[in-house]
Amino acid sequence: MEGDLQRRLGRNLRDLRQAKGLSQEAFADLLLIHRTYMGGLERGERNITLKTVERIAGALGLDPAELLADHRAPRSF
């Protein structure tokens, strides 16, 4: 469904932020982005570029695919 990937990325970012015990503002500062942009990302409202996904993943020490992975659904092959 359209927008699912944006919402998934937002959920993953929010989960990572909360796991680190950071406020949205502190997490945005860590990533060198504005807090309101971070809020839009977490709500799945922003159409983020792949370049930005790579930059955020790099700052977090993650593979970019981890930000897009569906961690909540069981995998079936």
User: What is the per-residue pLDDT across 10-59, written as a single tens digit (0 to 9) for each?
Assistant: 999 999 889 889 999 999 998 889 999 999 999 999 999 999 999 899 88
27 part of a folded domain: yes
Give the structural domain span for 27.
Answer: 4-68
75 part of a folded domain: no
Q: What is the pLDDT of residue 73?
A: 61
CATH at 11: 1.10.260.40
Cβ distance 68 to 10 under 8 Å? no
**Total count of domains within the chain:** 1
- Residue 61 pLDDT level (bands cut at 50, 70, 90): confident
Residues 6+ apart with CB under 8 A from 40: 46
56 part of a folded domain: yes
- Quote the CA–CA distance of 52 and 6 in Å, as a whole number: 13
Instruction: Give the global pTM.
Output: 0.81
- Quote the CA–CA distance of 13 and 38 in Å, as a whole number: 9
